[in-house]
């Protein structure tokens, strides 16, 4: 059974960073064609680099075993909330068709926001 704790939440965000980084580096063309923003190697590379940095930081924290994961959660919450809002706005601005990349990112980040809120409520 999955234990609902700060360490596992950080691991969940680590997985998200890996998936997003791969989508925007290895599968750039497909990912961009399915987004409302279209292709731009510049922004896609920037986001892939950001995700790589996030992976390295989170792996370092997890590897250290210092128990600092709870201190990362507010920052991860803000990131996911901002990404969720950004994708919602993009979807609303481009209602002419569906954009699976934006919908997937909105959904994944939105689930993260809800999970974090549940965690914050239950640990208070």
Confidence band for 1, pLDDT divided at 50, 70 and 90: low
Chain position carrying tokens 């064609």: 33
pLDDT score, position 2: 65
Distance (Å) of CA 80 to CA 24, 68, 105: 17, 19, 9
Q: Which of 2, 4, 1, 6 is nearest to 67 (CA)?
A: 6
pLDDT in tens, 14-34: 999 999 999 988 989 899 999
Terminal-residue alpha carbon distance, the chain: 23
Whose tokens are 């507010």? That residue is: 74
């Amino acid at each position: 059974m999955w234990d609902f704790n700060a360490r596992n939440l950080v691991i969940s965000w680590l997985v998200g960073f890996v998936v997003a980084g791969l989508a925007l580096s290895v599968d750039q063309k497909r990912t961009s064609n399915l987004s409302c923003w279209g292709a731009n190697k510049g922004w896609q590379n920037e986001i892939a680099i950001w995700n790589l940095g996030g992976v390295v930081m989170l792996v370092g924290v997890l590897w250290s075993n210092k128990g600092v994961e709870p201190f990362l959660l507010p920052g991860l919450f803000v990131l996911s909330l901002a990404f969720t809002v950004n994708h919602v706005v993009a979807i609303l601005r481009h209602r002419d068709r569906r954009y699976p990349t934006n919908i997937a990112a909105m959904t994944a980040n939105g689930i993260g926001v809800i999970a974090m809120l549940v965690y914050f409520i239950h640990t208070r």
